[in-house]
Structure 1
Amino acid sequence: MATDVQPDAKAAPADPGRRPYRFTAEQFWKMIEAGVFPESHFELVRGRIYLTTKHEPHNFTVRRTVKLLRAMTPAGFYVRPEASLRHDRWSVPEPDVAVVPGDEDIFQPEPPLTSEAVLIVEVCASTPWSDYRQKAGLYASAGVPTYWIVDVVGRKIDVFTKPRGAGREAAYAEHHAFAEGAPAPVVLDGREVGRVDAKDLLPPIEEPPKPTSPTA
């Protein structure tokens, strides 16, 4: 079977942190099993493989998000950081954080389905198109009830709920933005289990250096 492994110039615009390639989900899993990919983060979204570059503001925010969500996730669910989910024939997403049913201490031979996730979080530091458009549609098509984007630049949490539609027409019907100082509700399986403030997830803002006094 011929496979297009070249970047697709006619595809949707690429974010600076990702490079697109075209494969099937079956091929993608076989390449993972064969050790084709180096030690890095890859995912398959609608037939294209993306290498994701993650810098320290992103990594810090992911760690903080995982820590705070784990503290409030009830029994019967667990927090799954930066790990693949099974979606369909054309997609194997790797969300930054997903809350899924089960127990992280019990081995499962296959990753959870995207549709099983009760909350998915993407940290947006350099991938606005993929997070706000591509991934939003993908997770809505799977019926994920709540999708968060933690916006590192905008310093806010965008919360998307009420998925509607199917396939490429899927979208979230409601969107609320929670700026620093306005905690976002954490809703798991239809129940609010706590609230998280964007300022507790994001790296601190660097203050400009203070001017020095001129020497005599």
Structure 2
Amino acid sequence: MKTLMKWSLKDYHDLIDNGLLADKNVELLEGELIEMAPESPLHSYITRTGTQYLREKLSGLALVIEAHPITLANSEPEPDIAIVKPHAHNYKNRHPFVEDIFLLIEISNKTLAYDLNDKKKIYAKEGIKEYWVVDINNRQIHVFFNPDNNDYLNKINISTGIITTQSFPDLELVIEQLFSW
């Protein structure tokens, strides 16, 4: 039987601080170092355009972070887009914590099963209020909200029209502008 070594957040930060992960594209998930998939041009484009649109719509309400870490209990994933509380100075010495997060978004091209299963379970377990997976291939958004244990109580799929968030229910986002397919 093979036993994997689990890494703590402190261990992970020590590896980063000592430059041991400088040439590695990894994130810490549930104590394991997970290699991140390279981004296709379409993935990058949709992330950039979605982030720009969200920054315009959420100006003054939230900070929209593109592809940077968040800190969970024993994970430090790098979601494609994180919408967090707007106190940027809080993030000078730490990454956003669960209580800072309004919404996480993963743009999924080749990693759909992983984003809809493993990442969703981690985010639900941690209490992330709302999680979206942008399914590039099927041109739809999987919206999860109301976390309960390792899953979300509610899920909807949407591909056109208007979408709102749990944290900003009066803010209407046009899907075709949010994610330019």
Q: Residue 39 of structure 1: CA displacement? A: 4.8
Change (3 A) 1:160 1:113: same
Q: Distance in 1 between matches of 2:61 and 2:176?
A: 26
Change (3 A) 1:155 1:40: farther
What TM-score, normalized to structure 1?
Answer: 0.74
Equivalent residues in 2 for 1:122-133, closer than 5 Å: 122-133=106-117
- Is 1:184 matched up with 2:163? yes
* Uncovered stretches (5+) of structure 2, i.e. residues with no partner: none
Give the aligned CA root-mean-square deviation in angstroms.
Answer: 2.2
Equivalent residues in 2 for 1:73-112, closer than 5 Å: 73-88=58-73, 90-104=74-88, 108-112=92-96
The structure whose residues are more often helix, as a share, is 2
The answer as to whether partners of 2:129 and 2:145 remain within 8 angstroms in 1 is yes
* Corresponding position of 1:54: 39
The code of the aligned residue for 1:83 comes to H
* Corresponding position of 2:172: 194
Rg (Cα) greater in structure: 1
Aligned with 1:192: secondary structure?
coil
Change (3 A) 1:193 1:65: same
Q: Which of 130, 142, 155 pairs up with 1:158?
A: 142
The answer as to whether partners of 2:133 and 2:141 remain within 8 angstroms in 1 is yes
- Identity of counterpart residues, as a percentage? 21
Change (3 A) 1:49 1:107: closer
* Corresponding position of 1:175: 155
What TM-score, normalized to structure 2?
Answer: 0.87
Aligned with 1:130: secondary structure?
helix
Q: Distance in 2 between matches of 1:95 and 1:183?
A: 23
Aligned residues: 178
